[in-house]
Amino acid sequence: MAQGCLKCLKITMCAANFLCFMCGVAVLGFGVYMMVTFKIAALTPTLASFNLANMLLISGIVITCVSFLGFLGALKENRCLLLTFFLILFLLMLVELTAACLLLVYEGEIANWVNEDLINGLEKAKGKTGNSTEVMSDWDLVQVQFDCCGVRNKSDWGDKVPKSCCKSECETPEPKYRDKGCLTTLKTLFEENFLTTGISVIVLCIVEVLGMCFAMTLFCHISRSGLGYKL
């Protein structure tokens, strides 16, 4: 009976981790494709290194490495690998919960920081610092997609309001500009998706807890049966 449960647990853990590994490979491949195909910049100087392609690459690497560790540990019934898998999942869950708590506690400070960083990015886009071509294209894209203009309104652009701020043709005598600033639009978008983000974090934590329970249960079964790597 115990051997049957051990075999079922082993197969379940191998299948789940193999599925996660394939998802990680897909995310990693998509991140590489985006990095090679698209020339991605950022609206803000601070977030320049944290664009979508880089985040996909990092997420893909983490998912593939962790899932491969769990798959190999379950397949080989190796206690050392299973314990390492358990500890990494535990650390990842702590990091996610800590980030969520910090986001809630320092919501005001984060909003001010985002505001200042957007202003710096807009100043760069206006050509006051460095080459503004890439950043300007990003601002144009965001302003059209989110129906906004500048950080707070069109006055942030001064005398050189880009065409992406116009609701209609800018060549008209009195062009109609977009009313809302991009900071307000992004804040509203975050608030609307706050519940979805919270549920996603909770589901992710539940999956990680299940993975830790499976790993520790398999670890204990292997220990009692006298199999696996002797710690």
pTM of the predicted structure, to 2 decimals: 0.75
Q: Which residue has the higher pLDDT, 38 or 140?
A: 140
pLDDT in tens, 156-185: 888 778 888 887 777 776 778 888 888 888
How far, in Å, CA of 5 to CA of 21, rounded?
A: 24
| Model pLDDT for residues 197-223, shown as the tens digit of each residue | 788 888 888 888 999 998 998 888 887
Which CATH superfamily does the domain covering 109-187 fall into?
A: Tetraspanin (1.10.1450.10)
CA distances from 169 to 107, 163, 176, 215 (A): 38, 8, 8, 61
42's CB contacts (< 8 A; 6+ apart) are 48, 50, 51, 121, 135, 138
- Interatomic CA distance for residues 211 and 206, integer angstroms: 9
According to DSSP, residue 47 is labeled G
Angle between helical axes of 79-105 and 107-125 (0-180°, round to 10): 80
In tens, the pLDDT along 52-73 reads 677 888 888 999 999 999 999 9
Q: 42: which 2 tokens?
A: 């950022």
pLDDT digits (tens, 9 = 90+) for 117-165: 888 888 877 765 444 445 556 788 788 888 888 888 888 888 778 888 8
Measured distance between the N- and C-terminal CA atoms of the chain, rounded to whole angstroms: 26
Residue 88 makes CB contacts below 8 A (sequence gap 6+) with 66, 69
